[in-house]
């Protein structure tokens, strides 16, 4: 049964937070369903909480932006402050992220991030800091990834008197501990850059799948946030652009001056990166310009592969030559020894003894053929098997001679399975008198195996080296691509007339000089533009008396003086926050 809360009909509870309760309600005045957020009774009892809740909720209610939830009414019923806001349907960003354990697809992530940055820019330019940016406060409305930011109930109105509080109410109303900026934790003056830190925590969580700092209690968590260095951001999606990781690291700088100085600059960088990713994806095959991260690894791999292949062929050739020569020396030494041992038996024509020698030597796996002939060329003993003998006889001809050293010859012949082997031919002499001829065939299996093993080893080494070269060069060029993309994005800002944009990332290499040169150029261009505006206003102020519409023209200098002296903070899209207070220089 519906309960009455002022003019609203409460139809059920939607959720509870640490300090508030949200109900589903119906407003008969505008005839629509609403979400009604009330301060918990234990906090409603304190006047300072009620006053800040209502004052800052009213300020948030002035924000009219497509990505910010609409607030219809703010008030108090029986001492309980409330905010009547648009009732959203859809998933929270935390639920959407949980449904993508491998990471939110990059196009969706960039679209969501750009919308959040644009909404924050709008709020900051209207003097409102959200103070509780987290996935639970972002709602995805549809499958096109359109979002709305909600829970501006603790948003802070920026003012010149925004100084650290003593009563503790502000610190307590700061937001969620995991997403609080260092200046929130220490209760220092804050501006839009505090929201940008929380946005960086949100992006870190969406990209890596975990928060940058975690602990069991808020105090330990805050100590880590203030003192520990930022953990390495490892993206779950291997195709995450390195420039996005660099943006997150910039947002999470502990010093607000080292972060982005405005949400507009952040949104511009995200849009520029989104365009590059889209162009890279849609024209990947037809791109005329090959990215450095692709070109350099390919060039380095080609050069290294060419050098190593040439080295491979040289090593293989030299090894084959050396092993072959060693095989020749071994074959000649073995033949010479056998010739000496069989010379006397051959002279005595002791065929059983000669055949015994042949059979004994043939037991050696490396000796595949052996034949002993007398002085007349008749075979006295040979390896058993007529087929092998016939095969040898058909190939032991002059055109098969591989090496000749006087009466010593080496033939290269092939077995029935096409396996090559060497046949060594040597005269048998007894007391310097030739008594016959010896032929010994040695298998080349060991030689072939050694060459093949060396070749495979070298090929494996080449593959490993190429892999290391490609990976190392790709990693290096990705690192180089990040500052290049930053410079391109910054120049795009200049092209679009955003002269307040500065590159605030610091490097310890030559890119630091490039960034410094860009910033100096932007300073000169911005100063030139301000001088031109001031000169134009002074010219209007100096219009001679009597000229028609002089009173109207005379009003211009009053408005122009602030432009000539400085930029009105909040009137420029590049400013971090809007206060409506004149300033000598807009923060960038």
Q: What sign does the dihedral 533-538-543-549 (CA atoms) show?
A: positive
Identify which of 50, 66, 47 has the alpha carbon closest to the alpha carbon of residue 58.
50
Separation in Å, CA 349 to CA 243, 354, 395: 91, 8, 27
Q: Where are the alpha helices (DSSP H) in 433-571?
A: 445-495, 510-541, 550-565
Identify any residues that bridge with 424 across adjacent strands, giving them in sequence order: 410, 440
Reduce the secondary structure of 32-50 to three states and give it as a string.
EEEEEEEECHHHHCCHHHH
Q: 132 catalytic, yes or no? A: yes
Question: Which candidate in 121, 132, 191, 195 is catalytic?
Answer: 132
Query: DSSP letter string over 355-375?
Result: HHHHHHHHTSTTEEEEEEEET
Which residues have CB under 8 Å from 122's CB, separation 6+?
63, 65, 67, 68
Cβ–Cβ under 8 Å, residues 142 and 90 = yes
Distances (CA, A) of 148 to 141, 193, 298, 385: 7, 20, 44, 92
With CA atoms as reference, report the closest residue to 67 among 117, 11, 136: 117
DSSP 101-163: TT---HHHHHHHHHHHHHHHHHHHHTTEE-----GGGEEE-STT--EEE--GGG-EE--TT--
H helices, E strands: number in the chain: 16, 19
Positions marked active-site: 132
């Amino acid at each position: 049964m519906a309960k009455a809360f002022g003019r609203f009909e409460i139809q059920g509870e939607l959720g509870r937070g640490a300090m508030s309760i949200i109900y589903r309600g119906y407003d008969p005045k505008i005839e629509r369903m609403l979400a009604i957020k009330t301060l918990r009774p234990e906090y409603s009892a304190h006047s300072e909480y009620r006053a800040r809740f209502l004052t800052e909720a009213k300020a948030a209610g002035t924000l009219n932006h497509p990505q910010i939830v609409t607030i219809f009414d703010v008030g108090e019923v029986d001492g309980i402050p409330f905010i009547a806001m648009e009732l959203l349907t859809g998933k929270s960003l935390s639920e959407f992220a949980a449904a993508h354990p491998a990471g939110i697809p990059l196009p969706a992530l960039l679209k969501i991030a750009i919308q959040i940055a644009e909404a924050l820019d709008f709020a900051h330019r209207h003097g409102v800091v959200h103070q509780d940016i987290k996935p639970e406060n972002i709602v995805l409305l549809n499958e096109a990834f359109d979002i709305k930011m909600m829970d501006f109930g603790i948003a802070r109105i920026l003012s010149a008197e925004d100084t650290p509080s003593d009563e503790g109410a502000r610190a307590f109303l700061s937001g969620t501990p995991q997403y609080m900026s260092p200046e929130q934790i220490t209760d220092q003056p804050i501006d839009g850059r505090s929201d940008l830190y929380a946005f960086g925590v949100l992006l870190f969580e969406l990209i890596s799948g975990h928060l940058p700092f975690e602990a069991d209690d808020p105090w330990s968590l805050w100590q880590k946030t203030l003192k520990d260095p930022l953990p390495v951001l490892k993206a779950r999606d291997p195709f995450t652009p390195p420039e996005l990781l660099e943006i997150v690291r910039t947002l999470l700088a502990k010093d607000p001056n080292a972060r982005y100085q405005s949400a507009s600059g952040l949104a511009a960088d995200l849009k520029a990166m989104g365009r590059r990713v889209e162009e890279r994806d849609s024209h990947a095959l037809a791109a005329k310009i090959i990215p450095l991260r692709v070109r350099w690894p390919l060039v380095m791999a080609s050069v290294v592969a060419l050098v190593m292949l040439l080295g491979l062929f040289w090593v293989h050739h030299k090894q084959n030559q050396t092993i072959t020569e060693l095989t020749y020396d071994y074959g000649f030494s073995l033949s010479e020894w056998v010739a000496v041992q069989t010379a006397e038996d051959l002279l005595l024509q002791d065929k059983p003894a000669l055949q015994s020698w042949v059979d004994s030597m043939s037991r050696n796996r490396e000796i595949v053929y052996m034949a002993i002939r007398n002085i007349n060329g008749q075979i006295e003993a040979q390896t058993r098997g007529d087929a092998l003998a016939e095969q040898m006889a058909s190939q032991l001809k002059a055109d098969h001679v591989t090496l000749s050293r006087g009466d010593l010859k080496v033939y290269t012949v092939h077995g029935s399975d096409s396996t090559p082997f060497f046949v060594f031919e040597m005269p048998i002499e007894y007391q310097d008198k030739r008594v016959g001829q010896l032929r010994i065939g040695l298998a080349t299996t060991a030689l072939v195996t050694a060459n093949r093993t060396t070749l495979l080893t070298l090929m494996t080494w080449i593959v490993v080296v190429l892999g290391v070269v490609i990976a190392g060069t790709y990693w290096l060029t990705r690192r180089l691509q990040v500052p290049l993309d930053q410079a391109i994005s910054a120049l795009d800002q200049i092209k679009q007339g955003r002269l307040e944009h500065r590159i605030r990332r610091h490097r310890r290499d030559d890119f630091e000089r490039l960034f410094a040169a860009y910033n100096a150029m932007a300073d000169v261009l911005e100063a030139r533009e301000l001088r031109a505006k001031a000169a134009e206003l002074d010219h209007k102020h100096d219009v001679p008396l009597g000229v028609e519409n002089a009173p109207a023209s005379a009003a211009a200098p009053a408005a122009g003086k602030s432009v000539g002296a400085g930029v009105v903070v909040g009137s420029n899209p590049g400013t971090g926050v809007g206060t409506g207070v004149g300033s000598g220089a807009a923060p960038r």
